[in-house]
Amino acid sequence: MEVSNGLTSQAAEITIPELVAEVYEGAPATERGHLLEQLLRPLGVLSLVAIADGIFAKIRFRSGWQDLNVRLDDIQNVRASHVAALVDHAQQVSVEAVDGLAQMLTASPVLSGSAAAVLLVAVLLERARTRQSGGDSQAVGTAAAVRPN
C-alpha cells in the first residue's frame, strides 16, 4: 500500500493516536469495536481506569476479562479523543498492539479505502521497519516517518 507524496506532506505532523482516532471516527460501528478490541487487549485494569475517565475499564469489565468482545452499545460513548488517549497509552505498554492495527486495517475492505487508514498503515509499517533495523526512535510518533517507497 503506497501513500502519495501529497498526502504524506499534508499529514507530516499528525501523530499515530490522531490517525487512529480519525480512522475510528470514520469507521462503521462493528469496525470500531474491532479497533477497540485490538487496543484494549494488552492493557491492564489500572491502565484502563486511568484513560478517558475509565470508559474503557467499564467496557472491559462488562465484556469479561478472558474473552474480550466490545458490544455495539459499548462504543456509543467512546469519542475520537478517547481513542487517541487509548492509543497513546497502548503505545507505551505494547507498541505491537498498535502495530497490529495495520494488519486489521488492510484486511478490512471497509477501512482499507479510507485515506486516514492508508496513511496509518504506511506509518505503522514504516515504524516497524525502523524498529527492526534499529533506527532512531523519533520515527515512532508521527506521520513524518512515512517515506515513499
Mean pLDDT of 52-77: 83
What is this structure's pTM? 0.77
Q: Considering only 57-61, 77-81, 130-134, which range has the smallest mean pLDDT?
A: 130-134
The count of other CB atoms within 10 Å of the CB of residue 103 is 13
119 within 8 A of 1, measured Cβ to Cβ: no
* d(C-alpha 56, C-alpha 143), whole Å: 26
Domain ranges of the chain: 5-145
Mean pLDDT of 58-82: 84
SS3 content of the chain, % helix, strand, coil (to 5): 70, 0, 30
- What is the per-residue DSSP string for 74-94? GGGG--HHHHHHHHHHHHHH-
105 within 8 A of 4, measured Cβ to Cβ: no
Q: 70 or 19, which is more confident?
A: 19
Q: 19 or 141, which is more confident?
A: 19
pLDDT tens by residue, 20-48: 999 999 999 999 999 998 998 888 888 88
